Chains A and B, each alone.
Chain A
Amino acid sequence: MDPLTPKDVDHIAQLAYIKLSDEESEDMRIQLTNILGHFASLSSVDTDGVEATGHTTDLNTVMRKDEPQPPMDQEDVLRNAPDRDGEFIRVRPVLE
């Protein structure tokens, strides 16, 4: 396969919401290109008409009754928020 370009890595970083330094980006580009190169042989396996396996239990959609359960304690849930204001979690503005 063709090596990934710095632009490819920037695009993935954007999709993954991960900020990388310039040095990290270049390392990532080289390593991903190397790893993906090892996977190229997969294209040689004939999979025409083969169904994809998502998981192995052969279960279909599992349903249960929609019954209310006791909720978690509010304080237990809120105590882990990095930025909190009383019973609210504070977030950055979505738009600049």
Chain B
Amino acid sequence: MTTHSANSDLYFSTARELRAKFDAREISSVEATRTMLDRITALEPKLNAFITVTAERAIADAEIADQRLQGTGQEPTALTGVPIMLKDNFSTKDVETTAASNMLKGYIPPYDGTAVRNLKDAGAVILGKGNLDEFAMGSSNETSAFGPVHNPWDTDRVPGGSSGGASAAVAAGECFIAFGSDTGGSIRQPASLCGVVGMKPTYGLVSRFGLLAFGSSLDQIGPLTRSVADCADALNVVSSHDRRDSTSVAAPFDDFGQDIDHGVEGMNIGVPKEYLVDGMESGVREAFEASLKTLEDLGANISETSLPLTDHALAVYYIIAPSEASANLSRYDGVKYGLGSLDAGTSAQSTEAARGAGFGDEVKRRIFLGTYALSAGYYDAYYKKAQQVRTLIRREFTDAFLKFDALVTPTSPGTAFKIGAKMDDPFQMYMNDICTIPVNIAGLPSISIPGGMSEGLPVGLQFIGPQFGDTTVIRAAAAYERATAWHKNHPLI
């Protein structure tokens, strides 16, 4: 493939840089969109990051965005004319939405989710739908019914998951921003493995209406971007109070980026020692230690702390998330939509057959796990117990944030692993999310940013803030980003 340097600059521009080019009339949204669509055509045989590309719609949306950018029509926003991707578990009106499952192949939603609605209203140009682990259940994007996504840094490796299409597309310059969902790390862990920024805001700040439900008390929508500023801009667009989601809350601040330039001088940042797990790769540990030094040089007060219940977070998560999933996925009965079974038999037999054929192994495993945890005789020992420990984990975080403005940890214990390496051992796969899961349990904001390289592969650095401390983690992440050049590394693809 030949790459012209002008295009190469564009592929890895931030959304803000692209918007500046729109304003300077250096490029139009239609031109940028066509360039991205060509890039997608060239790279998809290697990456498989998209399930659906909506080229015609994207060009039509870009034409409207250009008018808006030229001052006819509504006031433009930070995302007007910016080509983006949506993970394929976002309900998009008239565009196939599969959740990477055979259960939903061919499903055409009759409505847009609220986050999608907000993005369309802002004038963002949707290029298509991103590959993911089936129903967002996985940490490697290998459980997709549409095949694995390949990491642009090394196409023999996974991009992480479940928002693996999103992270690969942003890292490879197939789009400027992608939106994913994070139930136990599904934005931050793939962001870490692909060397991009990914943020899960405080639970409740982005409406879940129209996000295909996995674990409703844990799921949260967020962006994957190539800069922290883009992340703040993206959150300003998607975040809204929504009467269609009864867990939706209005942000207690006006701008996710309001403190982005404030730096970390004098900030108290804790390092919870339990996150530096035994199995952590040495390259990740070394990168993390170097990052702590950088933060100290910037004037942050770094000190070790302890969150002892972290050791139980994985168990809590893998009881609560599958329990909620088993209830949420009971809607796929093969009657109103989704894969049906037209074989003779009763209604129940037809549903059993459709679900047996439509769901993949990991989804079935989690439904079984959740069904078991909720079943008579086991509810108290598993589900209720996990919810009680969840209360204690939250309290532990609350206490920590009396002393610290933010916590900092590695995002994942390892870098991108080889495709197939962990598929035979579900529990080993679950360990990938050991550093991200506690955050969802407590509903906190957290961002992963490029924080080093190990043997040619990106390493992520994670900041965790108190509930509604979204502006604080963005502030800390931006200070680190200004002081380092990791975010300027791009894969040669």
For A19, the chain B residues whose CB sits under 8 A away are 352-353, 355-356
How far is A17 from B330 in the complex, measured between Cα atoms in Å?
8
B367 lies within 8 A of chain A by Cβ = yes
B381 lies within 8 A of chain A by Cβ = yes
Partner of A82, one of B319, B342, B368, B390: B342
Nearest residue (CB) in A for B93 is: A76
Interface of A is mostly: loop
Q: Which chain A residues (76-92) contact chain B, with CB distance < 8 Å? A: 76-77, 79-83, 89, 91-92
B21 lies within 8 A of chain A by Cβ = no
Q: Is the CB of B315 within 8 A of A42?
A: yes
Partner of B346, one of A15, A80, A93: A93
Q: Is the CB of A17 within 8 A of B355?
A: yes
Max chain B CB contacts within 10 Å: which of A16, A51, A83? A16
Query: When A42-B316, A50-B392, A55-B443 are in contact, do A15 and B355 touch as well, CB less than 8 Å?
Result: no
How far is A25 from B111 in the complex, measured between Cα atoms in Å?
37
Per-position 1/0 for A1-25, Cβ under 8 A of B = 0000000110111011111100010
Nearest residue (CB) in B for A8 is: B372
Nearest residue (CB) in B for A42 is: B315
The distance from the CB of B312 to the nearest CB of chain A, in whole angstroms, is: 6
B149 lies within 8 A of chain A by Cβ = no
Query: When A77-B110, A82-B342 are in contact, do A57 and B427 touch as well, CB less than 8 Å?
Result: no
Query: When A54-B217, A62-B246, A76-B110 are in contact, do A42 and B368 touch as well, CB less than 8 Å?
Result: no
Q: Which chain A residues (8-51) contact chain B, with CB distance < 8 Å? A: 8-9, 11-13, 15-20, 24, 28, 31-32, 34-36, 38-39, 41-43, 45, 47, 50-51
Query: When A35-B369, A39-B319, A54-B387 are in contact, do A80 and B340 touch as well, CB less than 8 Å?
Result: no
Q: Is the CB of B385 within 8 A of A59?
A: no
What's the interface size class on A, roughly?
35 or more
Nearest residue (CB) in B for A19 is: B356
Query: When A42-B315, A55-B443, A56-B443 are in contact, do A80 and B386 touch as well, CB less than 8 Å?
Result: no
Q: Is the CB of B347 within 8 A of A35?
A: no
Q: Is the CB of A35 within 8 A of B426?
A: yes
The distance from the CB of A15 to the nearest CB of chain B, in whole angstroms, is: 5
B336 lies within 8 A of chain A by Cβ = yes
For B394, the chain A residues whose CB sits under 8 A away are 53, 56
For B338, the chain A residues whose CB sits under 8 A away are 80, 82
For B430, the chain A residues whose CB sits under 8 A away are 35
How far is A19 from B346 in the complex, measured between Cα atoms in Å?
14
Max chain B CB contacts within 10 Å: which of A41, A72, A83, A91? A91
For B319, the chain A residues whose CB sits under 8 A away are 39, 42
Q: Is the CB of B356 within 8 A of A31?
A: no
